[in-house]
Amino acid sequence: MTKYILKRLGQGLLTVFLTVSTVFILVRLAPGDPAVAYAGPLATTEELAKVRAQFGLDLPLIQQYWIFLQQLFTGNLGTSYSFQAPAIQVVLERLPYTLTLATASILLTAVVAIPLGVWMSRRPDTKKEFGVNVLTIAGQSMPDFWTGIMLLTFFAVLIPIFPASGFATWSALVLPTVTIAILQIALISRMVRREMTTNFAAPYLTVARSRGVRNSLLTWRYAMGNSAIPVFTALGTRFAAMLNGVVVVEVVFAWPGVGSLIVRALETRDYPLIVATVLVTALLAVGVQLLIDLAYPLLDPRIRLGKAATA
């Protein structure tokens, strides 16, 4: 068990390290000069050279990478060009906002999508189920930035119930959460339905039914018990993806999270900030993935983690 966790941790850290290194090299290979973005278009050549020297951008790439590695292991990724503060600190300040949004969204998704999926699987091929089925297709087909703007127009501009942007009050959480959840509910509920339908058709369920097991028990204990792992995995993976993937929604609602930060960092070519954002979000994503895997034995006692690792 401990060996398994250590192995997974090692793999995860390696993934993060490779990702961050790729990003580090990629940003420097790409066209565009952060010195120009920093000093403005009117800066003289001498000023630009000075800015470059200040940020250490005049050194050869290998040397920059070496300095970066040393920084990485001391946990200091340099100073953000545009915020004039330690890059890691800037990211960590934004992180709680993204975490709040992601947690609220995944909770809403789970609360709606699981019962909805179960409901659909228990009434296969009825008119109502077909209607909901088509609705979920529509839900996964609408671009999320558009849904966001539409919700914003209706519930913040035309009928001002919710604030349009930022995060000053808790009610500001509603619209972004709903925007994210619409897409996620559509995806997850279809998945729950698929899993449950497979389990409902399985012989063990027929046997249990013929022995007179109650319907609710059949659904929630038998079929759900066996659907739990894939459903939980899907929810967890979605959550991990949300920690860095809600860029679009954050931009629409001017949410002060990591997603809108990376957009700004890319625009200003703020190298340390880009790398720091990628590092933090990649670490989080890998961490969440590991937690999901560690939770498997709780959901299904048949699973032994050490064996799962070698399989």
Partner 1 sequence: MSLSDTAVPPAGGPSGLPDEPPARKSSPSAVTKELIAKAGATRRRAGAKFKIRTGVICTLLVVVPIVLAAFLPLPDPSHQDLAQRLLPPLSEGHLFGTDQLGRDLLSRILHGGQVSLTIGVLAVLVSGTIGIIFGAAAGYFGGKLDSVVSRLIEAQMSLPLLMMLLLVVALFGPSIPVITFVIAIAQWPEVARLTRSMVLVEREKPYVSAARILGLHRVQILIQHVIPNVIKQATLVVLLLLAQAVLLESALAFLGAGPQRPFATWGRIISDGQDYLTTAWWLVTVPGLVIAIMVVGVNLLGDGLRDRPRRKKKGA
Q: Based on CB atoms, which residue is closest to partner 1, 20 or 231?
A: 20
Q: Which is nearer to partner 1, 231 or 262 (CB)?
A: 262
Q: Which residue has the tokens 């070698």?
A: 310
Nearest-approach distance from CB 22 to partner 1, in angstroms: 9
Q: How far apart are CA 82 and CA 84, in angstroms?
A: 6
Structure tokens at 53: 């020297």
The residue among 8 and 50 lying less far from partner 1, judged by its C-beta, is 8
Nearest to partner 1 of 37, 50 (CB atom):
37
Q: How far is the CB of 200 from partner 1 (least distance, A)?
A: 12
Shortest Å distance, C-beta 223 to partner 1: 18
- In the complex with partner 1, the residue whose CB is nearer, 49 or 254, is 254
Q: How many residues does the chain have?
A: 311
CA distance 302 to 143: 40
Sign of the alpha-carbon torsion through 280, 286, 289, 295: negative
Residues 179, 211: Cα–Cα separation, whole Å? 44
Give the number of other CB atoms < 10 A from CB of residue 261: 26
Nearest to 99 by CA among 279, 250, 308, 253: 250
Q: How far is the CB of 44 from partner 1 (least distance, A)?
A: 26
Stretch (H or E) spanning 114: helix 87-122
- In this complex, which beta carbon is closest to partner 1, that of residue 47 or of residue 133? 133
- Give the footprint of partner 1 on this chain (CB under 8 A): 15, 18-19, 23, 26-27, 30-32, 124-126, 130, 133-134, 137-138, 140-146, 149-150, 152-153, 157, 237, 240-241, 243-245, 247-248, 251, 259, 262-263, 266-267, 274, 277-278, 281-282, 285-286, 289
How many secondary structure helices (H) and strands (E) does the chain include?
15, 0
Min. distance of Cβ 145 from partner 1 in angstroms?
5
Smallest gap from residue 133 Cβ to partner 1 (A): 8
